Amino acid sequence: MCQNYSVYSQIQTQLITWAILIVGWFVVHHLTSQREQRKEARERLDQFIIALREIEVRAVEFHQSKTYEADLARTLLFDIQRIFVRLKRYPFGSFVVTPNLPKEMRKAITLRNFDFSKFTRQSPNSEILGDIANAIDKLEDQLEKEYERIYLRQIFRTH
């Protein structure tokens, strides 16, 4: 009888060990997947912000050019359209972005001084250039807050 108890005790110990091992593997796998998802989302957000800043640079270049540059105006319009399309893709599709922020950015760049017949060179401290910088900053801030809300607070929920 003592020997049977020993066999059952060993089997029970083995089962507990395997259960802990399997549960541990699932936990580590889950945490690793979350980390990879955060990392990928961060990389895409960083690329998006770089693209936003490139649009800002081109917009300033356009508005400060000596004459109306039709090619640069067309490039800006296409870049703005492309960046809005990117806002619908992963991970931004799950971000809650105030709808007026992308519109504000587009308006800041294209509403004033974008028509060939009314174009005038803008000074570095012009209202138009300030509006462009502010609109892009607001959009970037909202995206950063959404990244934090979705991905960084996730860390604290799982630990």
CB-based contact 48:13 (threshold 8 Å): no
What does each of the 159 residues of the chain score in pLDDT, given as a tens digit?
Answer: 456 668 788 888 888 989 898 988 988 888 888 889 899 999 999 999 999 999 999 999 999 999 999 999 999 999 999 999 999 888 888 899 898 999 999 999 999 999 999 999 999 999 999 999 999 999 999 999 999 999 887 555 554
Burial 130-141 (b: 16+ CB within 10 A, else e): ebbeebbebbbe
Distance of CA 60 to the CA centre of its chain: 23
